[in-house]
Amino acid sequence: MEEITLDAQARPTGKRALKQLRKRELVPAVYYTQHGEVRHIAVDARALSHLVAKEMPLLHLKLDGKEFHCVIREIQRHPVNNEILHVDFFGVERGHKIRVTVPLRLIGAAAGVKEGGILEHGYREVQVECLPSHLPPHLEVEISHLGIGDSVRIENLSFENITLLDDPHTVVAHVVPPRLEKAVTEEEVEAEAEGAEPEVISARREEEEGEKESKEK
């Protein structure tokens, strides 16, 4: 599996310090391990974006002349421009299993969609347990066999060297019947018109009677 090295540097904490980091195009981050080790660091924004775009599950953080083997545990983004605001790096040990969240990617065109159904993809990531060397950037879910009314659940998925930890009954993808809008028939239109006609005639008569009374006065 390809791995990449990302340079990091120690950083101060505090809101003012974070603003200064971002002005220098650095992203504040935290490196931590299951043993309680915590390091406040900063990484280059451009290099980090490149790494995230390549979906690299494993990387080496180079800090103070040392390399730390880790995975990206969480990415916080700006709600408007999607800019990366903060990253959590989780230190891993070779030969020891880890638990992380991995994106799910649907593969293929569902047969039910071609028949007019609508594909719903509500569950987009899953928690897995595996060795760091077996950690994938994402997991592919084949959906081409799904007809209208069919679904794929966690219990239907199986990947070599990976254990899925989420509820096995969770629906990952589902093809639902098309939502048909209620058609308005000619009879309904005519009935509506007939129902409105007496009101129009009544209003017109009241108006004419009012004009007649005005003339007599």
Whether residue 131 sits in one domain with residue 72:
no
Residues 54 and 46: beta-carbon distance below 8 Å: no
pLDDT (mean) for 133-146: 92
Return the CATH number at 48: 2.40.240.10
How many domains is the chain built from? 3
Whether residue 188 sits in one domain with residue 165:
no
pLDDT in tens, 196-210: 444 444 444 555 555
Q: How far, in Å, CA of 154 to CA of 8, rounded?
A: 37
pLDDT in tens, 16-31: 888 889 889 999 999 9
Whether residue 81 sits in one domain with residue 12:
yes
Whether residue 79 sits in one domain with residue 25:
yes
Q: How far, in Å, CA of 60 to CA of 73, rounded?
A: 14
Whether residue 78 sits in one domain with residue 51:
yes
**3-state class of 162 per DSSP?**
strand
Q: Which domain holds residue 119?
A: 101-176
Residues 44 and 21: beta-carbon distance below 8 Å: no
Q: Which residue, 178, 182, 114, 189, is CA-closest to 146?
A: 114
Domain end, chosen from 65, 92, 119, is at 92
DSSP annotation of 159: B
Whether residue 201 sits in one domain with residue 145:
no
pLDDT (mean) for 98-127: 92
- CA 121-161-57 angle, 5° bins: 65
pLDDT in tens, 59-109: 889 998 899 999 888 899 999 999 999 999 999 988 889 988 899 999 999
| Residue 100 burial (CB count, 10 A) | 19
